[in-house]
Chains A and B, each alone.
Chain A
Amino acid sequence: GENVEQHPSTLSVQEGDSAVIKCTYSDSASNYFPWYKQELGKRPQLIIDIRSNVGEKKDQRIAVTLNKTAKHFSLHITETQPEDSAVYFCAARGGWDMRFGAGTRLTVKP
C-alpha cells in the first residue's frame, strides 16, 4: 500500500514568516494529495488539495506544489498568523484508500 512520509514533525516560525512542510509518497499510481489542518481538540479539516495532473495550486496564503517525478509534494503557508498554529497532515490516495503522513505541529509565535 501507499506510504507517506512527512517532514518536519515540528516547525516553529515567527508571525509573518513563511512555513513549508514536505511530504513524499511511494505509490506512483497515487493521483490525489490533500492537506488537512487539525487544531487542538478539533477534527481534521481539509484546507487544500491537488490532483496529479496539476503542478501547483494556490488559495490565498496557502499553496501546494507537486513533483510527480520525484514523488513529493509540499505545503507553503505565507505571512503566517498565530491562528495558523495547528497540526498539518498531508495525505495521498493510492488505489482506493487515503493514507496520511505523521503530521507536522506548526507553532506561529506572535
Chain B
Amino acid sequence: EADIYQTPRYLVIGTGKKITLECSQTMGHDKMYWYQQDPGMELHLIHYSYGVNSTEKGDLSSESTVSRIRTEHFPLTLESARPSHTSQYLCASSEFGGRANEKLFFGSGTQLSVL
C-alpha cells in the first residue's frame, strides 16, 4: 500500500549524539517536507525538497541537514542532539503540482527525546 513511513517511531538519546531520522514514501511524490511539532502543537518547517538533489531550508534548519539522493527517501540528520531538540518530527510528501492544489500526506512521526 502506498504510504509514507518514518523510523524510528520513538527515540531516546543522550546529548551530543548524531542521529538520523528516516523518511520514505512509496507514493511516487516529488516533494517532501520535514516539520517539527512542539508540545504546543505548532508545526515548524525544517527543510523541504522538490525532488532528487534539491533541498531547501525552512525556519529551523540551522541545526540539521537533509539529503535527497533517491525520490522516495528524505532522511533528516541532527549532527549534535540537544535537549532543545526534544520534539515530534513529522515527514510529509506531496505531488509537486506547481501552482495547483498541493495535498500533503504525513508520516506517523518520530518522537525524539534528548536527555
Q: Which residue of chain B lies nearest to A103 when distances are taken between CB atoms in the complex?
A: B41
> A43-B90, A43-B108 known; A99 and B45 CB under 8 Å?
yes
- Please measure, in the bound complex, the distance between the C-alpha atom of A109 and the C-alpha atom of B1, giving whole angstroms: 36
Asked if B99 is at the interface of the complex by the 8 Å CB criterion, the answer is: yes
Tell me whether B56 and A97 are in contact (CB under 8 A). Answer: yes
Specify which chain A residues have a CB less than 8 angstroms from the CB of B59 in the assembled complex.
1
**B residues near A, CB below 8 A?**
33, 35, 40-43, 45, 48, 50, 56, 58-59, 90, 99, 101-104, 106-109
> A97-B56, A98-B104 known; A103 and B99 CB under 8 Å?
no
Identify whether the interface residues of A are mostly helix, strand, loop, or mixed. strand
Specify which chain A residues have a CB less than 8 angstroms from the CB of B104 in the assembled complex.
34, 36, 44, 46, 98
Specify which chain B residues have a CB less than 8 angstroms from the CB of A36 in the assembled complex.
104
A-B residue pairs, 8 tightest by C-beta: A103-B41, A100-B43, A43-B106, A102-B42, A46-B103, A44-B106, A87-B41, A97-B48
- What's the minimum C-beta distance from B97 to chain A, rounded to whole angstroms? 9
> A32-B102, A43-B107, A102-B41 known; A96 and B50 CB under 8 Å?
yes
Tell me whether B41 and A32 are in contact (CB under 8 A). Answer: no
